[in-house]
Amino acid sequence: MIRKVLLILVIVALSIIAVDLFTGTSGVNTSNKEPEVIETPAPILEYGIPVDSFNIVEGQIRWGQTIGNLLSGLNIRNEIINKLALVSPDTFNSKKVKAGNRYKVFYTKDTVNAVAYLVYGHSPIDFYIFDFRDSLRIYPFQKEVRAVRKIDEAQIKSSLWETMKSSGINPVLALDLSDVFAWTVDFFGLFPGDKFRVMYDELMIDSTSIGIGTIHAAWFEHRGEMNYAFRFEQDSVASYWDEKGNSLRKSFLKAPLRFSRISSRYSGSRMHPVLKIYRPHTGVDYAAPAGTPVVAIGDGVVIEKGYNHAAGNFVKIRHNSVYTSGYNHFSRFGKGVEKGARVKQGDVIGYVGSTGYATGPHLDLRFWMNGKAIDPLKVKSPPVEPIKAENLSRFTIARDSLLSLLDSTKVVVPDTLSIK
């Protein structure tokens, strides 16, 4: 009898162990394998919102539509919409909502299908989040801007802008590149065959370009002459220098306005388009659309501002004891431009017009040296202070590094920077 009981107990014990091992409830890992870990995928975030948790509908602000109209159309309760009037303009200014701007509505994935969020895009970078989950909360959101380093080159076929556009380069780069070489390259006299190479940052949001960032280095071959530019910081100020450490910033700009064309040059005898007589033309005419900003070609003091029948609205600037420049036919003057006012190189002093003796909108630029009229296109402009001796070795290292990258094969440099 006892043997039978012991036998039964042994059989029961063995059965329990077998079941335990089979089901794995003992917690003892009898194999050498690590227990499998199942990872939960991270939520997909957009504007900080887990988008996979919502149904999303996109839309565009219509002409005349207010943010209140939009919310009312989304069946947001009136008591919540009325709270917009209490929101500080520093938090969200409803008067600045623009037609054409886009928005996204986030609906809950349930039978209620309620609006949880509204995201309004104020600009490619700036957004406003309307959180309706608990009454109303509005807060800003900024998308990350990445600076993607690029190297591009092209040969001039027509204008710099058109050359970049036809070469698949962001044409906005033309504006910044012309600023870098404004003192050394005559962009109104480019020749087919002139060429350039430039290393720069293109600013991206997601996969969309929003503009040009920093130009780090470039060369521009103009009329067979190589012009280099290297960005380098001296005395906490970043500027551009040539390969010898001379500043690219000169006393005078090559031209007082961007991307126009020379319609008439300096001449000892020219048929006047209005008077129909031959007379000297001691200036250079730049044809440009009315309203094009005109800048001072150098630092100086406004010594004359006024109107006469020939020049129309005009400004004259004395730069130093030797040089004076004049600007004729303005449609209007720049802000703060008065006789005796100090202006800096690049300040807007007026806008292209056709006042005075003019058959169409253009700028007539004049230049005097020691009181004698000279050809503005032939002025030799001295540079400002070069790299200081104590900074020269640091500049040389930076120049050689940039030049090595600039002269490498045309590539998109993979390094990117995040701009907060």
Check residues 51 and 379 and name the one with the higher pLDDT. Answer: 51
Q: Which of 136, 147, 130 is CA-nearest to residue 47?
A: 130
pLDDT tens digits for range 64-74 = 899 999 999 99
Beta strand segments in 3-53, E? 45-46, 49-50
pLDDT of 12: 55
pLDDT of 57: 93
Strand partners, 328: 364
| Lowest mean pLDDT segment, chosen from 92-96, 204-208, 278-282 | 278-282
pLDDT of 256: 85
Check residues 6 and 378 and name the one with the higher pLDDT. Answer: 378
pLDDT of 259: 57
pLDDT of 320: 78
Q: Which of 99, 154, 89, 155 is CA-nearest to residue 122?
A: 99
Q: Which CATH class is domain 45-142?
A: alpha beta
Q: Does 261-378 match 144-250+383-420 at the fold level?
A: no
pLDDT tens digits for range 329-353 = 999 999 999 999 999 989 999 999 9
pLDDT of 266 above 60: no
Q: How far apart are the first and last CA of the chain?
A: 85
Check residues 257 and 103 and name the one with the higher pLDDT. Answer: 103
- Give the pTM: 0.62
Distances (CA, A) of 284 to 150, 303, 364, 375: 37, 21, 6, 8
User: Where in the chain are the domains?
Assistant: 45-142, 144-250+383-420, 261-378
pLDDT of 32 above 90: no
The C-alpha atoms of residue 65 and residue 99 are separated, in whole angstroms, by 7
The C-alpha atoms of residue 71 and residue 55 are separated, in whole angstroms, by 17
pLDDT of 357: 83
pLDDT of 251 above 80: no
Q: Which of 61, 116, 125, 117 is CA-nearest to residue 94?
A: 61
pLDDT of 279 above 50: no
- The CATH architecture assigned to 144-250+383-420 reads Roll (3.10)
Handedness of CA 340, 345, 346, 351 (dihedral sign): positive
pLDDT of 224: 87
Please state the CATH superfamily assignment of the domain spanning residues 261-378 in this structure. Glucose Permease (Domain IIA) (2.70.70.10)
Q: Count of H helices and E strands in the chain?
A: 6, 25
What average pLDDT does the chain have? 83
The C-alpha atoms of residue 74 and residue 105 are separated, in whole angstroms, by 9
Cβ atoms of 301 and 341 within 8 Å: the answer is yes
